[in-house]
């Protein structure tokens, strides 16, 4: 993934971190599937936080004129999937994330580092 593409992902990463999404992982899946180029996976500590992360992300991305193709799972707040075409955001309630283990299913995907993601990781140290 090019540096420009990684920088373009930062708006999506900013969107999910507005409500303190945890354990953020960005996977480059473009050579593994045709459904998306990138998966952004993150967690919340409760179903309320999962829904809050999703709502804040939708609002943030709307301000950047980016609208989802579809959003699913906001009812229960266990797993919210937000489809933005090339970017799919998965927001999990932590125990549900552990159960489905998307990172394990997509183990062949490269992990993407973006400028804002590096900054977030350094601030958590």
Q: Give per-residue pLDDT as tens, 78-95.
A: 999 999 999 999 999 999
**Ordered domains of the chain (ranges, CATH):** 3-123 (3.30.460.10)
Mean pLDDT value of segment 36-65: 95
DSSP labels for 53-89?
Answer: HHHHHHHHHHHTT---SEEE-TTT-SEEEEE-SSEEE
High-pLDDT (> 70) share of the chain, %: 90
Place 39 in a pLDDT band, splitting at 50, 70 and 90: very high
The model's pTM is 0.90
């Amino acid at each position: 993934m090019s540096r420009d593409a990684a920088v373009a992902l930062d708006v999506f990463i900013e969107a999910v971190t507005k409500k303190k999404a945890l354990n953020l992982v960005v996977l480059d899946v473009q050579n593994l599937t045709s459904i998306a180029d990138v998966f952004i996976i993150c967690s919340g500590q409760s179903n309320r936080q999962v829904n809050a992360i999703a709502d804040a992300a939708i609002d943030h991305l709307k301000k950047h004129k980016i609208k989802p193709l579809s959003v699913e799972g906001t009812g229960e707040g266990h797993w919210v999937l937000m489809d933005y075409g090339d970017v799919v955001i998965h927001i999990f309630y932590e125990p549900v994330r552990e159960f489905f283990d998307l990172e394990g299913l997509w183990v062949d995907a490269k992990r993407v580092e973006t400028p804002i993601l590096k900054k977030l990781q350094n601030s958590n140290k």
